[in-house]
Structure 1
């Protein structure tokens, strides 16, 4: 029999459909490919992009030249632009403001044929260092209420350029998904004086049904109410509200477990398209009339990386109800991923 499960963090119901019982082989897709005559993210084509705002250059080379390992540039066609004022205004019953924000691309490697899973832990650490550096820089701007870092891997997941890259967007309002999770965490802490995600993590470690991998700093698990098959969370084992506070050593440990997780997904699902999102604390800017607005944030919020293979599509039922249907129970997904050999090349 199928089962309805409640997600206390996202405030939503999920239908776990045991009767369908789909296994990894049922999700293997004929992947779409994008061919480029000349990739703008490759070595030697730095003049084809916008000017870099950050780069890791071990050889000390000049900006906007070859010699980089990770390079961050403003998106050439940004959804939001950094110049200008917000100009918040009402239009009858509606609200509007100017499209102010930041939209950046983190080019993860100069090698066109290597994906994030192919990089060494040291190389992935450098990608994470770039995330941290851009978060710390952009959060200084009081116009930005939230900064999201995400990665689309594969055409099916929204990647228009096959060269491995992530994106960052800073927005002038707190997005609805973040607002829900921030509010839930704050309300839970207000009642129990404990972090919701810490409690979830403690319970998951005790039952051990949905744990895929763990080390001294991070835990990889399939959420109890997974919205999608093989959905995963990478969560700090110890309470931490802000990714930007991680040390280089902690970033290295995260890089190792992130690589292992991506290789397990590749082994089990034959390199599926996926999205991952860094759910992090918002910039703690003071709000007029709300002096204690973020007062409990370091105690009640717990950052995490959400990693979702794009194996199923959202259809009318999901749009119409807000319920999601997952045909592979997270316990089953975790079991397949736990037993996977990340060194296997299919």
Structure 2
């Protein structure tokens, strides 16, 4: 029978439609746009992008030239700009703010491939290091209060380029979604005396029915109140609010688990479009933040319609337990020792 499930972090309910449950074979990926004749993110096309702000490159190679394996450039069509002044003023009953911020593209590989899963563990680890490096650099600008790292894969998920890449937007304010999570973490600690994310990964590991895979440092599971079919969370076992504090062993471990997680997703539901979002603590705030950073993978297999847009609630046609079981059943390659670039 249909049921409502509440997210334990934020005040959000999800309708799990068990009676019309969709299995992996019920989903078909949407048709993607035709490939671009010239990809601006490919090696040799560095002149097609704004000048790089950072790159991992071979010794002796020049900026904005071949020789890199991860490259970060400003977005050519930014949602916000570093050069803007942070001005806020009223506008009648509204509030206006200048478009201050930073919008960058992390080019995840010089090869023209559409998916991070096609890369080695070593290359994925290098991408994670690039995320961390840009987070630590941009937080030095005290105008920024939150830095959102995210990845859109597939046109349905908002990707305008096929070449594997992720993005970063630095904001002068903390997003409502993060503020809701911070409030939920605070309320849970006041009531239970512990971190909700720590309790979640421990409970899910013991229960087992929604676990996708465990590594030494992380647990991947389908959340109890998953908004999307085959949604997954990757939660570090070490309690840490700030992704910027990730350690070397955790980077290697996360690269391994992320590759396997995305491989499981691709094999289970026909390589679907998805959004990957990294949730971390706000920056440049006056008081210490109680939080637990994590990654959410949100496949785009259903369409948000009037109910979701009108209520903020979601209908998930695939029960999380069914999704986790299907993901666990996939056979992926054994862990191999990988040599970093």
Give your verdict on TM over 0.5. yes
Deviations 1:246-282 (A, max 9, x none): 1222101100000000000111111111100000111
SS in 2 for 1:159: coil
2: CA distance, partners of 1:60 / 1:233:
40
What is the Cα deviation at residue 209 of structure 1?
0.9
CA distance in 2, matches of 1:93, 1:103: 29
TM-score, normalised on structure 2?
0.95
Aligned to 1:320: 310
Residue of structure 1 in register with 2:51 after alignment:
51
Single out whichever of 100-109 and 175-184 deviates more from structure 2: 175-184
Counterpart position of 1:239: 239
Offset, 1:109:
0.3
Q: Deviations over 1:63-105 (max 9, x none)?
A: 1100100000000110100013111111232111100000000
2:326 corresponds in structure 1 to 336
1:291 match: none
Structure 2 alignment gaps of length 5 or more? 335-341
Deviations 1:194-229 (A, max 9, x none): 111111112111111100000110000000000010
Rounded Cα–Cα distance in structure 2 between residues aligned with 1:97 and 1:323: 29
CA distance in structure 1 between the partners assigned to 2:49 and 2:237 by the alignment: 39
The 5-angstrom pairing of residues 131-210 of structure 1 reads 131-210=131-210
List gaps (5 residues or longer) in structure 1: 287-293
Q: Which residue of 2 aligns with 1:126?
A: 126
Partner of 1:92: 92
Deviation, structure 1 residue 19: 0.4
Work out whether 1:277 is the aligned partner of 2:267: no
Note if contact 1:233-1:307 (Cα within 8 Å) is conserved in structure 2.
yes
Q: CA deviation at 1:343?
A: 4.6
Cα shift at 1:342: 2.4
CA distance, structure 2, for counterparts of residue 192 and residue 313 of structure 1: 36
Normalised TM-score (structure 1): 0.94
Aligned ranges for residues 286-301 of structure 1 at < 5 Å?
286=286, 294-295=287-288, 297=289, 300-301=290-291
Q: C-alpha displacement at 1:284, in angstroms?
A: 3.5
User: Which deviates further from its counterpart, 186-195 or 48-57?
Assistant: 186-195
Deviation of 1:33 after TM superposition, in Å, equals 2.5
Q: State the secondary structure of the residue aligned to 1:69.
A: strand
Instruction: Please state how far the C-alpha of 1:114 moved relative to its aligned partner.
Output: 5.2
Secondary structure of 1:275's aligned partner: strand
In 1, distance between residues paired with 2:190 and 2:143? 28
What are the Cα deviations for residues 37-85 of structure 1, in whole angstroms up to 9, with x where unaligned?
Answer: 2111011111111111111113441111001000000001101000131
